[in-house]
Structure 1
Amino acid sequence: MTLQSGLIRKAMAAAIVFAAFGLSAPADSFAAAPQARTQAPGFYRLMLGSFEITALNDGTADFPMDQLLLNAKPGEVEAAYKNAFLRLPAETSVNGFLINTSTKLILVDTGAGTLYGPTLGHMLDNLRAAGYRPEEVDTILITHLHGDHVGGLSLNGKMVFPNATLYVSQRDVSYWLNESNEAGAPESQQGNFKIARQAMGLYLAANRMKPFTGDMQLFPGIKAVEAPGHSPGHTMYQIESDGQKLLLWGDLIHAAPVQFADPDVAIKWDSDPKQAVATREQVLADAAKNGYWIAGAHLPFPSFGHVRADGKGYVFVPISYTQNRPVH
Structure 2
Amino acid sequence: MSYRSFVHSIAIASTIGLAPPAWAETPALPAAVSHQQVPDTYRFPLGKLDIVALSDGTVPQDLHQLLTHTKPAEVDDLLHRSFLDNPVEASINAFLITDGARRILVDTGSGQLFGPGYGGKLVDSLASIGTTPEDITDILITHIHTDHTGGLVVDGRRTFPNATVHVGKPDIDFFLDPSNAARTGYAQKYFDEAAKTIGVYDKAGKVKPFADRATILPGVVATIHQGHTPGSAFFNVTSEGQSIIFVGDIIHVAAVQFPKPSITIVYDQDPTKAASVRQTAFAQFAGDRQLIAAPHLPFPGVGHVRADGHGKFGWFPVEYRNRAGQ
Give me the TM-score of the superposition, normalised by structure 2. Answer: 0.86
> 1:207 aligns to what?
205
What SS is found at the alignment partner of 2:142?
A: coil
Residues 110/36 of structure 1: CA separation in 2 closer, same or farther (3 Å cut): closer
CA distance in 1, matches of 2:270, 2:200: 29
> Does the aligned pair in 1 maintain the 2:64–2:71 contact within 8 Å?
no
What SS is found at the alignment partner of 2:274?
A: helix
CA distance in 1, matches of 2:262, 2:324: 38
CA distance in 1, matches of 2:185, 2:253: 21
> 2:11 aligns to what?
none
Q: How far is the alpha carbon of 1:326 from its aligned partner?
A: 4.7
CA distance in 1, matches of 2:163, 2:235: 17
Residues 36/143 of structure 1: CA separation in 2 closer, same or farther (3 Å cut): closer
> 2:168 aligns to what?
169
Amino acid at match of 1:123: L
CA distance in 2, matches of 1:218, 1:267: 29
Q: How far is the alpha carbon of 1:292 from its aligned partner?
A: 1.8
Q: How does 1:220-259 map to 2 (within 5 A)?
A: 220-259=218-257
CA distance in 2, matches of 1:202, 1:37: 34
What SS is found at the alignment partner of 1:183?
A: helix
> 2:288 aligns to what?
290
Could you say what the CA RMSD is over the residues aligned between the two structures, in angstroms? 1.7
> 2:258 aligns to what?
260
> Does the aligned pair in 2 maintain the 1:47–1:326 contact within 8 Å?
no
Amino acid at match of 2:233: T
> 1:69 aligns to what?
67
1:129 aligns with 2:128: yes
CA distance in 2, matches of 1:35, 1:213: 48
CA distance in 2, matches of 1:99, 1:40: 21
Q: Deviations over 1:284-308 (max 9, x none)?
A: 0111001121110111000111111
Structure number, greater radius of gyration: 1
CA distance in 1, matches of 2:35, 2:176: 42
What SS is found at the alignment partner of 1:269?
A: coil
Amino acid at match of 1:288: A
CA distance in 1, matches of 2:71, 2:122: 35
Residues 216/68 of structure 1: CA separation in 2 closer, same or farther (3 Å cut): same
1:194 aligns with 2:192: yes
1:272 aligns with 2:270: yes
Q: How far is the alpha carbon of 1:157 from its aligned partner?
A: 2.6
> 1:39 aligns to what?
37
Residues 129/67 of structure 1: CA separation in 2 closer, same or farther (3 Å cut): same
> 2:140 aligns to what?
141
Unaligned runs of 5+ in 1: 1-33
**Segment drifting more, 108-117 vs 196-205:** 196-205
Q: Deviations over 1:148-183 (max 9, x none)?
A: 111111112321000001111110001000011112
Amino acid at match of 2:120: G
1:184 aligns with 2:183: yes
1:49 aligns with 2:50: no
Identity of aligned residues (%): 40
Amino acid at match of 1:151: G
Residues 95/37 of structure 1: CA separation in 2 closer, same or farther (3 Å cut): closer
Q: Deviations over 1:182-223 (max 9, x none)?
A: 123446x32110000111232122211111111211112111
CA distance in 2, matches of 1:38, 1:92: 14
> Does the aligned pair in 1 maintain the 2:235–2:245 contact within 8 Å?
yes
Q: How many residues get paired?
A: 293
Give me the TM-score of the superposition, normalised by structure 1. Answer: 0.86
> Does the aligned pair in 2 maintain the 1:46–1:326 contact within 8 Å?
no
Q: How does 1:91-170 map to 2 (within 5 A)?
A: 91-117=89-115, 118-170=117-169
What SS is found at the alignment partner of 1:263?
A: coil
> Does the aligned pair in 2 maintain the 1:239–1:246 contact within 8 Å?
yes
Amino acid at match of 2:132: R
Amino acid at match of 1:215: R
Q: How far is the alpha carbon of 1:121 from its aligned partner?
A: 0.6
Q: How far is the alpha carbon of 1:320 from its aligned partner?
A: 2.2
